[in-house]
Structure 1
Amino acid sequence: MHDALTGISGPIRMMLMCLSLLVSATQVCAVSPGPSPSMRVAPKDSMTAHMSIPKAPVPDIWTLDRGYLFVQGRYVPLGSEIDAVAGLVTLPAEYVQTVHKKNSDVTDSKSAPAALELTNDAEANLEIIRTLRSDGVVVCQSKAAPQTWPLADGGRAVLACLLDPATDSPDLVSDLPAEFQHPSWRRWLTTAAVTPDFAERAQSEVSGWTETISANKAQSVARQRLANFSYPLMLAGMVLVVLSFGQLLWFRPGVKLLAAEGEVPISPETATTRCIALLVMMSLLDLTMTLLAHQAHAMLEVNPIGNRIVSSVPTLISFKLGLTAFAATVLYVARGQKIGQLAAWWGCLILCLLTARWVMFNQIS
């Protein structure tokens, strides 16, 4: 052994061996397939999407401090007072004064009324208050029963379409309540008065919901992509495992290579080059499977450092390709040295085991 290593110094031998083990360990740390988490759910009321509004006792007179109320196509601001018995909504005095100041040509108080009429049915008005207290959406129109929608059951879709009446997003349109299939309700979305204070409130409510929809849609696409590529990648992994395992059994550093009668055995340098090539191919397969599984949320990275790397696709690709290229170059340059041959052999073994793990993961998933 001493004679075989005389051509290279101790620090360099140690560096090569550590480099090979580092590359192999990095492949293992960057891939931690685990149970697939469920899709993200909508915020706040998503768990009560199909639950009825609780029939809790409500006061006959209530100050509007949550929910979204529209009366005769007009958004009712927070701070308004709802009288369920009289069926009236009294607007805040400062709000009415602000409307008058913005419209200098207003001379008739009807242009900016201080109160709006609800219904003549006290029980219906109490139901309106119940919905608003649950952060719901209520629309009252003349000669029609008031419509109430919880945020998690069509309410957020109504708010999103009010903010952008021209939207043609199939996700938003499909989540609208059934009433909006009628042309008159579709017309109401484009004619309802949207004030800046409503836009500010609704935007904060809708933004998280739309982001959740986009994330769930992207995850569904990623799951389908993983399902489409899982089988061919599994076959590629099986082939690489067989080739690598055969190469590792046939070539062991320090053991004389044998050949069939009449054949010239290959040199250790050539066998080491084959190990390096297999190492690179298995590393690329590992990178591909990591990207597909992570985007589909089919793997869980428990290593905090690895999790930061996996969370950024450009960072992950740069890190894996850069480290693999660097290690393959160093091992190829040192392929004539015993320590370089040992490092390539062990690196190929660890990547072979990792690839076998991916094959098992694909079969389970």
Structure 2
Amino acid sequence: MKIIERLLTNRMLAELDAGKVIILLGARQVGKTTLIRSVYGGEGTIYLNLDIQIEQARLQAAGDLTPEAAIGYLGGGDTIIIDEAQRLPAVGRIVKGWYDSDLPVKCVLLGSAGLNILDKTAEPLTGRNIKYYLTPLLFEEVLRHQDWFGEGIDLSRFGSQIELLRQQFLVLGGYPEVITNSDPVLVLQTVYQDYLFKDVYGLELVGSRAKLQKLLSLLAYQVGSEFSTHELANQLGISRNTIDRYLEILEDTFVIFRLQAWSRNPRKELSKKSKIYFWDNGIRNAAINNFSPFEQRSDQGALWENFMVSEMIKRDLTLDQRQRFYFWRTYSGSEVDLVIQKDESLRAIEIKSRSTRLSSKIFENSYQTRVELVHPGHYLDYVMG
């Protein structure tokens, strides 16, 4: 089966000789191991998976040796790939020792949790690493994987094929095996139930699995809406502090992300609210166990908005564009779905499920920034390079 090419590959290859420890972060099952082996694999590569206890023990034993002896003990080679690095807090200290010894060995750490959970692992490597983030597949990567796709093609010739892929992506999302497997719903349910929260449960970061799952279900119904931690706490019968902690964990394991309100006029514009989105539409739908075809769904608007917002932020992370993303709303109800800031420049985007007339004069007049309309008939320029 043809491997799905990732846009991050070219960026990593361009920085191959940067002389730093490589840290690749992303949710479980998004293809980190496949990607890293395509870039750094081959003869002379040592691969350790710290999900496996005996490999944890090997690495810990190597950590008690001199750097030169440790590399020999692990089998020699010029590249060491350490998968699921968050499983062993001492890994950062060990790799730091190797790096500081100027050994001719490249070290690559893969983690299925963000820097809050990975902090004990990554902290010793401050200033010594390059971080990359691998997200679920971008829609562009799915299109490029199609047999009919080629550089410079006229995409308008394949409108029906692209529309079918769009509708499938809105429901099933972009986990690689979901795209390539003949039973995508089963794969998605397995990812959601067995893999996604493995680190959360393994590190005993939550007190109640049932409460976490219920929280995810509530969040899935509030995609693109402002939410209240107070209301969520009341619905679940737990404290607001616990809700805040669970939200941080879900963010740090790449399940959800938050958009903060953007404001330069706190008297008239919201400045302390936030909205929830899922990194992947399929995981959102798994949280409510609804995989009905797109055309049969009552939540088409929420799925479309989650897709567009997540796609643009995934592209930003993949291509290292270093933009900041917000939403905007006034107390009187005027709203813009997405405000994108880079340095002093602004873009404003309204996401609609159909072509419609915008009522965005307040934002445009206040910030001299045109509000762009994105709808299913006009979106490919926003998700393709």
Greater relative contact order structure (CA < 8 Å, 6+ sep): 1
TM-score with structure 2 setting the length: 0.23
Higher helix proportion: 1
TM-score for the superposition, normalised by structure 1: 0.24
**Which has the greater radius of gyration?**
1
